[in-house]
Each structure stands twice: as structure tokens, then as C-alpha cells.
Amino acid sequence: MAELLTATQMRMIERAAIETGQVTGLELMERAGRGVVEAIFEEWPELGGSAGRAVVLCGPGNNGGDGFVVARLLREQGWEVEALLFGDPAKLPPDAKVNYERWEGTTSGVADFVQAKIKHPDLSIDALFGTGLTRSIEDQALWEHLWVHDDAEDAWDMRRCGSGTDIVPPRTVAIDLPSGLCSDSGKVLGGAFPQYGRRCARSALTVSFHARKLGHVLGEGPSFCGRLVVKDIGLSLEVDDAEIVKSAERPSSPSFCKTEHAHKYTHGHAFVLTGGVGKTGAARLAARGALRVGAGLVTLGVPPSAQMEVAGQITALMIQRIEGGKDLSETLLDARLNALCLGPGLGLARAQDLVPAALASQRSVVLDADALTAFADETAALLELLHGKCVLTPHGGEFARLFPDIAEKLSAMPGQGPAYSKVDAVRAAAARAGCVVLYKGPDTVIAAPDGQCAVNAAHYERAAPWLATAGSGDVLAGFITGLMARGFPPMCAAVSAAWLHVECARYFGPGLIAEDLPELVPSVFAQPDATAL
């Protein structure tokens, strides 16, 4: 799986390469600068072969050093380039200082930031801060310049609103990260000027190095990065760090495939509990999802009042009358029912009755929606019952009800970096719950109690905004249940299901409704090369 790195991990990788003599820091900086220039001309081929005009904003660290490399390389291609430095040249770190000196062009200071001589440049390059941004920005001139870099902000807003589609967006390029963004959390680090609100440079193109950083995919990160390109700078991909977060991708082992000689019971029997009459649709969606991902059999556990309603709407699914917790415990004496799903449309009272019986059975269990909300006032009781074969699938509201203190830390306004991230929050929740937690959203984060963590980012080329439709979460719960019925371990089931969910939405595109999702599974399974990122 592809790694999503923190700033510290990226530094460790860089340091290891330098200390083992594979490369020098200066050479890495040169490769980074070359990568940025290459990405610019790939993104905007019309700029190639012409002598354009660029403003490069350089910061006081190595991100600024990358900026000076880019300034030099563009000038070597005949561009008119103006470099502006925030900071004291004498205090630049060694590699950045070498590139500042190699640049040989004029460099203005921060006081001139807003008076850059080149107006309306073809390129505005943000090399102020990258992975080293550790605190809020307190220099007013710099703060204001984040706006100048982005001086066609109105154009962005107009495009976002659907008007002015003829407006060419500014060619703003962020080196590594848009300045102001925390590389570990995707949060905008605050500033000392409340009158301006929080501020971050927005870019049309972000060029990062070696691997994506968590801040590119979490929280607000993607809305500031524009298009994200990662350039190889020759660092080894091998990192031996259990802490590293993975990017969700198509599973290879265990695989979605079924073997020739298996029969339906080999693939497990999923059991999805429904709510009462008029509320059974959500569980039926989940059940259909479980069946499509390959559970051998799927049965709906239905209260007597809803039996007729459900029976009239199903074919391959089976039905079993479950009035309450006692019924469920008796039904679960059948050891073949190996994965349960409770929550979608279940109703709070029925959830309070059924969830303890389901958890006591020690089966694989997915708890979603009402099964989580029903325990908002007695989270300690729920936590007591959870075990290692459970997966919790909260959205933001459900997460906050179950883990209020963690949610509060996550939503607090950040000042210092690295800020508390969704990854930190979900890891903490999984450790407390003693089971896998999948926190939904465009940046779905999945963590296990042992610290394993993956992000299923529906951003950039994997954007799937059509998933924001009623019932799509129910299908996700069904996918996880079906995969656990098939024997996928909880973490693998949750990550694979989240990946599949987004791939189904991408396959269909606009107009998607939740009913479509299970029916798209065969098309996604049939694509051997569905991408990981």
C-alpha cells in the first residue's frame, strides 16, 4: 500500500538517505526543484517553450531552498523571475543558503512582498513553508501575501459557484504543501490576525516529493492543494515504521475472488438486523451490499411487524423473524451465522435490545448508525461489550456522541503544529474501543487498536462526491459485513470495503443513489487495474 507520511517520517527517510551516503541534501533539493519545474510544464504545456514571468515566494527553511532552485531553473529557460525571501539570508539552512547564493538574481525582502515588481505573473510559486510549518503565521506582511499569491481568489470563488467558468484560474503552485497548511493534519494553522480569519495559500497545483503527506488528504488539505502531483526524488520507499498510515487500495490478500471449489457456506453467512415496518430499507441496502461482495448467504433479521414488508421486496436474501435480544441469542446458536450488521434503520430501542446480544455472541459485528447512537448516553457500557471482531462505522455526529472528548480535541482551533488530526483521533478511538473504527467522510480514516491505520481518500482523481446520498453509508456497512462473513479480518474488511465503496461511486458518477452501489460491485471487481490512489 502507498504510504501517507507525516513531516517527521519524511525527515527520517531523508536523513537515512543522507546518512547512508545515498544522496546529499543538496542533490535532493535540486531534484525537488527539477520535479517542480517538470510538473509545471506537464500541467500547463502552453508555458513550455515560451519565456514567461514568475514570482517565487521563498521561506526561511528548505522549502524556500526548493524555491530558489525553481527560480534558477526557470531563469535558465529564459523566464523573467522575481524571488522574494521571507527571512534573513544569513540564517537560511545550509542547502537553502547554497541555492540562495546560486540563484544570483535579485531577491526582495518581506517588506516588498505586496509590491512585487512582476504584476500578474504567469506563475506564482509558493515556497514559503512546507513540512516545517510548526506554528501559526504571525508576520502581517507575510500573512497578507498569502492573499497576494492567491490574488485571483475571487476567480476561484466564481468558479466554485459555477459562474465565470471562462475565467482562467491563477497558475499558483505550492511546493510540497500550500503554506499555512499543517502537513500532518490537513488543518489550516491559525494566524495572529483574527480579523482575517484563518489563512492558507490556495494553489492550482501542489508538487510534493517521494510520497503524499497526510495533510494532502485529510481535513481541509485537499481544498487548498488543487491538483496534487508527487515527484520521485530517488528516496527509498522502504520505511520500517509501524506508525506509518497507508492509503486504502484494492486488496490482494485475502482477495475479492472466489475459488472454484468453494461452496456458499465457505463464504460465510451474513446476518443483517432490520428495524420495524417502514424502516427496513436501510438494512435491505446493507444486506444487498453484503451479498454483492460475496457473502455466501445473507439473511435479514426482521421484527414480526415488518415481515410482510421485507418478504415482498427480496429475492436472493433470506428472512428470519427476530423479535428481540432473546430471539437473536437463540438464532445465533447456529454457528454458521458468522457476521452481523446492526444499525441501519434499526431504531434506538431495538438497537439497545439487540446490540448486547449480538456482541455477546462474539461473532464479527459491524455497528453503524442507530447501533452507535443508542449508546450515546452509556458509552462505557458499550465499550465494555466491544471486542476485537467488531467494526464501528461512525460519521462525524456519531463519532462525537461516542467519543466526545476525542472529537473536541479534533475540532479545536489549531495553533501549534503538528495539529491533532483525524488519524490521531481515530487511532485513539480504536484503542479505547478495542476494535476497528472507521470514521466516514471524504477522508475516511480506519484504525485498529494496535495502531494500524489507513486513509481512504475520496479526493483528487478519486473524488466521489456522489456518495453524499442517503443510504450510501448503509451499503458500506453491508460491504464490511459481507467481507467479514467471507473471513476478511476486521481491519482488512473495513479498508477494502471503503476502497470498493468509492470505486463503485466513481464507476457510476453523477446521479448515483445508494441502490446503485451494490449493483456496481461486479463492474469494479471486473477491473483488474482499478487504481489504489
Ligand X SMILES: NC(=O)C1=CN([C@@H]2O[C@H](COP(=O)(O)OP(=O)(O)OC[C@H]3O[C@@H](n4cnc5c(N)ncnc54)[C@H](O)[C@@H]3O)[C@@H](O)[C@H]2O)[C@@H](O)CC1
Ligand Y SMILES: Nc1ncnc2c1ncn2[C@@H]1O[C@H](COP(=O)(O)OP(=O)(O)O)[C@@H](O)[C@H]1O
**Are 437 and 398 contacting, i.e. CB atoms less than 8 angstroms apart?**
no
Between 78 and 415, CB nearer to ligand X: 415
Task: Identify the residue among 68, 100, 209, 499 touching ligand X (CB under 6 A).
Answer: 209
Which option in K ion, ligand Y, ligand X, none does residue 474 bind, with CB closer than 5 to 8 A by kind?
A: ligand Y
Task: Lay out the sheet containing 453-457: strands in order across.
Answer: 212-213, 3-5, 245-247, 453-457, 443-447, 436-439, 390-392, 364-367, 337-342, 269-273, 297-302, 318-321
Between 198 and 432, CB nearer to K ion: 198
Which option in ligand Y, K ion, ligand X, none does residue 468 bind, with CB closer than 5 to 8 A by kind?
A: ligand Y
Place of cell 437463540: 330
Is 179 annotated as a binding-site member? yes
Site string for ligand X, 132-161 (x = CB under 6 A): xxxxxx------------------------
Task: Identify the residue among 2, 349, 470, 532 touching ligand Y (CB under 6 A).
Answer: 470
- Candidates 59-67, 300-308, 379-387, 436-444; binding stretch for ligand Y (CB under 6 A): 436-444
Which option in ligand Y, K ion, ligand X, none does residue 126 bind, with CB closer than 5 to 8 A by kind?
A: K ion
Which option in ligand X, K ion, ligand Y, none does residue 11 bind, with CB closer than 5 to 8 A by kind?
A: ligand X
Give the largest Cα separation in the chain, rounded: 82
If you write DSSP's letter for every residue of 506-524 in order, what string do you get?
HHH-TT--TTHHHHHHHHH
Which option in K ion, ligand X, ligand Y, none does residue 423 bind, with CB closer than 5 to 8 A by kind?
A: none
Is 64 annotated as a binding-site member? yes
**Are 107 and 100 contacting, i.e. CB atoms less than 8 angstroms apart?**
yes
Between 363 and 440, CB nearer to ligand Y: 440
Residues 6+ apart with CB under 8 A from 225: 174, 177, 178, 181, 203, 206, 216, 460
Between 235 and 436, CB nearer to ligand X: 235
Closest residue to ligand Y: CB criterion: 473
Q: How far is the CB of 69 from ligand X (least distance, A)?
A: 8
**Are 244 and 3 contacting, i.e. CB atoms less than 8 angstroms apart?**
yes
Cis ω before 518 (30° cut-off from 0): no
Site string for ligand X, 167-206 (x = CB under 6 A): --------xx------------------------------
Is 321 annotated as a binding-site member? no
74-81 LR contacts (CB < 8 Å, sep 24+): 74/37, 74/123, 75/105, 77/51, 78/51, 79/51, 79/52, 79/53, 79/54, 80/51, 80/52, 80/53, 80/54, 80/118, 81/53, 81/54, 81/55, 81/56, 81/105
| Helical spans, DSSP H, in 404-469 | 404-411, 422-433
Q: How far is the CB of 506 from ligand X (least distance, A)?
A: 30
Q: With binding defined as CB under 6 A, does residue 476 bind ligand Y?
A: yes
Residues 135-194 that bind K ion (CB under 5 A): 174-175, 179
Strands 269-273 and 123-127: unpaired
Between 415 and 465, CB nearer to ligand Y: 465
Q: With binding defined as CB under 6 A, does residue 271 bind ligand X?
A: no
Which option in K ion, ligand X, ligand Y, none does residue 492 bind, with CB closer than 5 to 8 A by kind?
A: none
| Helical spans, DSSP H, in 246-378 | 281-292, 307-311, 325-331, 348-360, 369-373
Q: With binding defined as CB under 5 A, does residue 204 bind K ion?
A: no
**Are 436 and 368 contacting, i.e. CB atoms less than 8 angstroms apart?**
no
Which option in ligand X, K ion, ligand Y, none does residue 9 bind, with CB closer than 5 to 8 A by kind?
A: none
Output Rg (C-alpha) for the chain, integer angstroms. 26
- Candidates 100-108, 124-132, 363-371, 406-414; binding stretch for ligand X (CB under 6 A): 124-132
Task: Identify the residue among 447, 458, 483, 521 touching ligand Y (CB under 6 A).
Answer: 458
Other C-beta atoms closer than 10 Å to the C-beta of 2 total 13
Q: To 5 degrees, how large is the angle CA 513–CA 469–CA 437? A: 115
Task: Identify the residue among 31, 269, 440, 486 touching ligand Y (CB under 6 A).
Answer: 440
Is 21 annotated as a binding-site member? no
Closest CA to 181 of 243, 227, 145, 225: 225
d(CA 291, CA 293): 6
d(CA 393, CA 399): 9
- Candidates 128-136, 347-355, 379-387, 388-396; binding stretch for ligand X (CB under 6 A): 128-136
H helix count then E strand count, the chain: 20, 19
Which option in K ion, ligand Y, ligand X, none does residue 473 bind, with CB closer than 5 to 8 A by kind?
A: ligand Y
- Candidates 82-90, 216-224, 334-342, 473-481; binding stretch for ligand Y (CB under 6 A): 473-481
Q: How far is the CB of 78 from ligand Y (least distance, A)?
A: 43
Q: How far is the CB of 31 from ligand X (least distance, A)?
A: 7
Residues 106-135 that bind K ion (CB under 5 A): 126
d(CA 514, CA 252): 26
Q: With binding defined as CB under 6 A, does residue 442 bind ligand Y?
A: yes
Q: With binding defined as CB under 6 A, does residue 160 bind ligand Y?
A: no
The SS3 call for residue 249 is: coil
Q: How far is the CB of 207 from ligand X (least distance, A)?
A: 9
Ramachandran angles phi, psi of 142, nearest 5°: -65, -45
Return the half-sphere exposure (C-beta side, CA atoms, 13 A cut-off) of residue 147.
11
Helix (H) or strand (E) holding 448: none
**Are 507 and 519 contacting, i.e. CB atoms less than 8 angstroms apart?**
no
Q: Which residues are annotated as a binding site?
A: 62-66, 126, 130-136, 176, 179, 282, 345, 395, 440-444, 473-474
Q: Which residues bind ligand X (CB under 6 A)?
A: 10-11, 14, 28-29, 32, 59-66, 93, 129-137, 175-176, 209, 233
Q: Which residues are annotated as a binding site for (6S)-NADPHX?
A: 62-66, 130-136, 176, 282, 345, 395, 474
Q: Which residues are annotated as a binding site for K(+)?
A: 63, 126, 179
Q: Which residues bind K ion (CB under 5 A)?
A: 126, 174-175, 179
